[in-house]
């Protein structure tokens, strides 16, 4: 078992990585009166695979609420249904919510926890690599509106995060590498040594060797925790994690979610690196090393279909990180060297986009 602490004073918490049994029992028995009422909010597909296992470590009277897998469940409609179910079961302040699933379960269940009775504690059990390395650290919760992603939400730190690496084994390969793209992103912006570690451990990573996956998750959580500790509410530093995301989000949106988020972030890094290389900020060798690593993980090297450059530019502009019309990018000038650039032009984007267009 490895533990990473997120140091946020009285909102701090531990991320336990390893078999989840003991950690879960300990967390559920934390209240003064002994056991607490436990409500599990679970992705239905994950529940089918792993709920029985989880329930053996939870009180017998735990209430289990499920939702259909997929991004569409991150909606006010599903939140409303979950509220009704909590009301019907008379769930009180002393209860704890356990979210089981990927980033959708964490964001949706975390938002319910943040708002039910003005906030109850919650424990995240992330079951995708993306959620384990990224979404479950930092307390961002929320849902989508028809007008856009993550428009409604709250910062609500979990009481604990418990990552059972056994759960990661049942992920489809595409879901798995989608998480790996975020891991590469985090290494590129924050830790050159961790980037090299990905290269040296690439085979073991792809084979999902439990020890290597635990280390990968722990190192990511440590990096993200350090950022969250300095910038809990995303006032500044946390923006370095947007590397690969301005183009990535645009591609994700234009392809109508045909590719997974991490796959789009991988493509976003390729395009954004080209912008940096063309500006003379980033060496070709580093850009190639990043591309080679992404390809070793069999992340997409190109778009499944051509996208018009003007559509990509327009989509970058509607990204909510755009302030006052200028397209701000978080580029890198080397491994571990993020660099904010405020004035990227449409022509630069169009030129860089060619590297990922289908030939």
Ligand X SMILES: NC(=O)c1ccc[n+]([C@@H]2O[C@H](COP(=O)([O-])OP(=O)(O)OC[C@H]3O[C@@H](n4cnc5c(N)ncnc54)[C@H](O)[C@@H]3O)[C@@H](O)[C@H]2O)c1
Residues 298-357 touching ligand X, rule: CB under 6 A, are none
Binding of residue 8 to ligand X (CB under 6 A): no
Q: Which of 18, 109, 121, 138 binds ligand X (CB under 6 A)?
A: 138
Residues 159-178 touching ligand X, rule: CB under 6 A, are 167, 170-171, 175, 178
CB of 309 to ligand X, least distance (A): 26
Could you tell me which stretch among 10-18, 81-89, 124-132, 229-237 binds ligand X (CB under 6 A)? Answer: 124-132
Question: 245, 253, 260, 291: which is the annotated catalytic residue?
Answer: 245
Residues 23-62: x where in contact with ligand X by CB under 6 A, - otherwise, as a string? --------------------x-xx--x-------------
Q: Which is nearer to ligand X, 49 or 281 (CB)?
A: 49
Check if 156 is active-site: no
Q: Minimal CB distance to ligand X: which residue?
A: 103
Count of residues interacting with ligand X (CB under 6 A): 29
Residues 142-161 touching ligand X, rule: CB under 6 A, are 150
Residues 65-104: x where in contact with ligand X by CB under 6 A, - otherwise, as a string? ----xxx--x--------------------------xxxx
Question: 238, 296, 317, 321: which is the annotated catalytic residue?
Answer: 238
Give the 3-state secondary structure of the chain. Answer: CEEEEECCHHHCEEEEECCCHHHHHHHHCCECCECCCEEEEEEHHHHHHHHHHHHCCCCCCCEEEEECCCHHHCEHHHHHHHHHHHHHCCCCCCCEEEEEECHHHHHHHHHHHHHHHHCCCEEEEECCHHHHHHHCCCCEEEEEECCEEEEEEEECCCCEEEECHHHHCCCCHHHHHHHHHHHHHHHHHHCHHHHHHHHHCHHHHHCCCHHHHHHHHHHHHHHHHHHHHHCCCCCCHHHHHHCCHHHHHHHHHHCCCCCCHHHHHHHHHHHHHHHHHHCCCCCHHHHHHHHHHHHHCCCCCCCCCCCCHHHHHHHHHHCCCCECCECCEEEECCCCCEEEECCCCHHHHHHHHHHHCCC
Check if 198 is active-site: no
Q: Which is nearer to ligand X, 154 or 350 (CB)?
A: 154
187 contacts 194 by C-beta, under 8 angstroms? yes
Check if 242 is active-site: yes
Residues 246-265 touching ligand X, rule: CB under 6 A, are 261
Question: 36, 50, 74, 140: which is the annotated catalytic residue?
Answer: 140
CB of 125 to ligand X, least distance (A): 10
CB of 282 to ligand X, least distance (A): 25
Binding of residue 140 to ligand X (CB under 6 A): yes
27 contacts 123 by C-beta, under 8 angstroms? yes
Question: 74, 261, 272, 348: which is the annotated catalytic residue?
Answer: 261
Rounded Cα–Cα distance for residues 214 and 174 (Å): 19
Catalytic annotation, residues: 118, 140, 182, 224, 234, 238, 242, 245, 249, 261
The residues of the shown chain that bind ligand X, judged by CB under 6 A, are 43, 45-46, 49, 69-71, 74, 101-105, 107, 127-128, 130-131, 134-135, 138, 140, 150, 167, 170-171, 175, 178, 261
């Amino acid at each position: 078992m490895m533990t990473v602490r997120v140091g946020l004073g009285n909102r701090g918490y531990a991320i336990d990585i390893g078999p989840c049994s003991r950690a879960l029992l300990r967390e559920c028995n934390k209240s003064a009166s002994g056991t607490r009422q436990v409500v599990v909010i679970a992705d239905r597909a994950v529940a089918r695979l792993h709920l029985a296992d989880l329930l053996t470590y939870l009180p017998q009277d735990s209430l289990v609420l499920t939702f259909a897998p997929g991004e569409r469940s991150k909606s006010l409609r599903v939140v409303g249904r979950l509220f009704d179910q909590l009301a019907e079961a008379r769930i009180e302040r002393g209860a704890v919510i356990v979210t089981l699933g990927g980033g959708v379960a964490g964001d949706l269940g975390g938002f319910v926890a943040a708002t039910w009775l003005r906030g109850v504690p919650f424990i995240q059990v992330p079951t995708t690599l993306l959620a384990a390395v990224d979404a479950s650290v930092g307390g961002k919760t929320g849902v989508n509106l028809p007008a856009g992603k993550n428009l409604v939400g709250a910062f609500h730190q979990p009481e604990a995060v418990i990552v059972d690496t056994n759960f990661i084994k049942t992920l489809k390969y595409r879901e798995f590498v989608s998480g790996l793209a975020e891991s590469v992103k985090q290494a590129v912006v924050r830790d050159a040594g961790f980037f090299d570690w990905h290269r040296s451990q690439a085979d073991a990573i792809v084979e999902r060797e439990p020890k290597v996956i635990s280390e990968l998750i722990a190192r990511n959580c440590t990096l993200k925790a350090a950022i969250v500790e300095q910038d809990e509410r995303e006032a500044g530093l946390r923006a370095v994690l947007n590397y690969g995301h301005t183009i990535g989000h645009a591609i994700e949106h234009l392809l109508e979610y045909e590719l997974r988020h991490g796959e789009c972030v991988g493509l976003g890094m390729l395009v954004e690196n080209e912008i940096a290389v063309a500006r003379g900020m980033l060496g070709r060798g580093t850009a190639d090393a990043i591309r080679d690593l992404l390809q070793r993980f069999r992340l997409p090297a190109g778009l499944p279909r051509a996208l018009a450059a003007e559509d990509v530019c327009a989509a970058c502009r509607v990204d909510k990180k755009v302030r006052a019309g200028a397209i701000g990018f978080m580029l890198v000038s080397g491994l571990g060297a993020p660099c904010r650039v405020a004035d990227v032009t449409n022509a630069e984007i169009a030129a860089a986009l060619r590297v990922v267009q289908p030939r």
